[in-house]
């Protein structure tokens, strides 16, 4: 079993993963198929909504460790190699599968397994959509390039304002570095996407919503990802209490979804970009 370092104060444990590795998504409206191979995410973004899912559904099986704060518990499977072998990958030939939905597949503690999973899934014809905030995905571009018809690489960015980014997603690469992942993936001929999410209402760290969205649109006009989608911040589980504690202020979401959508539409129009709203 590989050894790795963890951010300070993160509780670490192992669990038994039940094969197959591909499972139907249980998250909100997402649907489809997913590959998840950890419980907890060491990136610990403050807006993340996964914590409530583990607190509700994983406690009985995994134990009280999931009652710690989000970003401060992390469990990896002790049987990942067996789970890869026991997954009948060809059953999902031609199907779109997201990797991953309840953690980042390219966490520093997981990226080597992400590659092993891809090495099993891609030759079997499974179509993989990688959604990440981690530049470590670039290490696998050599492999992804060989299956470019079956792969897409997407990143999420919530803001271009560094001050806000450092508070809401303190352990991930900067927004600019994440967009660089997309540029590099494009250079390798890979299909790419950017998910603008979650869009925050005006707050002390980033007051001007329109200006922020314009900066995002300006950058996207340079990068030109194949797909752009967007989503406003929502109350999901206990994410708002983490956020408001980190930001030191209350966030007002009344009627914000419509305002965010309109502001993004204006910004994207200025740079002749299309997007889908979710
Ligand atoms: S990287 Fe994704 S799964 Fe991990 S904490 Fe951030 S939003 Fe949640």
Cα of 52 vs centre of ligand 1, distance in Å, is 13
Whether 164 contacts 200, CB under 8 Å: yes
Report if residue 224 sits inside a domain.
Answer: yes
pLDDT-based confidence at residue 192 (cuts at 50, 70, 90)? very high
Report if residue 67 sits inside a domain.
Answer: no
Report if residue 154 sits inside a domain.
Answer: yes
The per-residue b/e assignment along 41-56, b for 16 or more CB within 10 angstroms, e otherwise, is bbbbbbbbbbbebbee
Domain count, the chain: 1
Please tell me the predicted confidence (pLDDT) of residue 243.
Answer: 97
Please tell me the predicted confidence (pLDDT) of residue 6.
Answer: 84
Please tell me the predicted confidence (pLDDT) of residue 273.
Answer: 98
Pairing, β 276-277 against β 227-232: parallel
- What is the position in ligand 1's atom list of the atom closest to the CA of 49? 8
Average pLDDT over residues 63-84: 96
* Domain interval for residue 179: 89-277
Prior bond of 39 cis (ω within 30°): no
Report if residue 69 sits inside a domain.
Answer: no
Report if residue 68 sits inside a domain.
Answer: no
Whether 74 contacts 11, CB under 8 Å: yes
pLDDT at 222 over 70: yes
**Pocket (CB within 6 angstroms of ligand 1):** 41, 43-45, 48, 50, 103-104, 133
Residue whose entry in the numeric block shows the structure tokens 């950890």: 38
Cα angle, residue 225 at apex, residues 202 and 206 outer, rounded to 5° = 15
pLDDT at 173 over 90: yes
d(CA 169, CA 44): 7
- What is the position in ligand 1's atom list of the atom closest to the CA of 41? 4
Cα of 125 vs centre of ligand 1, distance in Å, is 27
d(CA 118, CA 137): 11
pLDDT at 92 over 80: yes
pLDDT at 1 over 60: no
Report if residue 157 sits inside a domain.
Answer: yes
Write out the two tokens for 220.
């996207």
Task: Tell me the pLDDT of the chain averaged across its residues.
Answer: 95
Please tell me the predicted confidence (pLDDT) of residue 271.
Answer: 98
- % of the chain residues with pLDDT over 90: 94
**Which of 30, 45, 166, 233 gets mutated to test ligand 1 (max ligand atoms within 8 A of its CB)?**
45
pLDDT at 79 over 90: yes
**For residue 161, how many C-alpha atoms fall within 13 Å in the half-sphere facing its CB?**
20
Report if residue 98 sits inside a domain.
Answer: yes
Please tell me the predicted confidence (pLDDT) of residue 4.
Answer: 74
Cα of 122 vs centre of ligand 1, distance in Å, is 24
Nearest in space to 277 (alpha carbons), one of 199, 169, 200, 165 = 199
Report if residue 115 sits inside a domain.
Answer: yes
CB atoms within 10 A of CB 103: 22
Q: Which neighbouring-strand residues pair with 70?
A: none
Residue 39 DSSP label: B
pLDDT-based confidence at residue 29 (cuts at 50, 70, 90)? low
Write the CATH number for 161.
3.80.30.30
- Span of 52-61, 154-163, 219-228, 264-273 with lowest mean pLDDT: 52-61
Convert the pLDDT of each residue in 95-116 to its tens digit.
999 999 999 999 999 999 999 9
Whether 114 contacts 140, CB under 8 Å: yes
| Coarse DSSP helix, strand, coil percentages of the chain, rounded to the nearest 5 percent | 40, 20, 40
pLDDT at 166 over 80: yes
Cα of 40 vs centre of ligand 1, distance in Å, is 9
């Amino acid at each position: 079993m590989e050894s790795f370092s963890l951010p300070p104060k993160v509780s670490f444990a192992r669990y038994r993963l039940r094969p197959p590795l591909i499972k139907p998504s249980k998250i909100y409206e997402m649907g489809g198929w997913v590959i998840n191979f950890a419980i907890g995410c060491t990136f610990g973004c403050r807006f993340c909504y996964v914590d409530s899912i583990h607190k509700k559904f994983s406690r009985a099986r995994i134990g009280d460790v999931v009652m710690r704060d989000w970003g401060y518990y992390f469990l990896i499977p002790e049987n990942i190699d067996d789970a890869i072998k026991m997954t009948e990958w060809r059953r999902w030939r031609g199907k779109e599968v997201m990797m991953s939905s309840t953690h980042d597949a390219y966490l520093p503690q997981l990226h080597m397994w992400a590659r092993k999973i891809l090495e099993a899934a891609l030759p079997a014809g499974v179509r993989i959509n990688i959604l990440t905030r981690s530049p470590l995905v670039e290490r696998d571009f050599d492999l992804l390039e060989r299956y470019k018809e079956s792969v897409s690489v997407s990143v999420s960015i919530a803001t271009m304002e560094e001050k806000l980014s450092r508070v809401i997603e303190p352990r991930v690469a900067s927004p600019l570095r994440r967009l660089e992942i997309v540029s590099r993936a494009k250079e390798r001929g890979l299909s790419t996407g950017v998910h603008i999410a979650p869009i925050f209402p005006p707050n002390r760290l980033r007051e001007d919503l329109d200006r922020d969205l314009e900066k995002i649109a300006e950058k996207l006009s340079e990068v030109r990802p194949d797909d752009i989608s967007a989503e406003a911040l929502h109350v999901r589980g206990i994410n708002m209490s983490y956020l408001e504690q980190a930001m030191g202020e209350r966030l007002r979401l009344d009627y914000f979804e419509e305002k965010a959508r309109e502001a993004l539409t204006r910004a994207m129009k200025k740079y002749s970009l299309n997007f889908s709203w979710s």
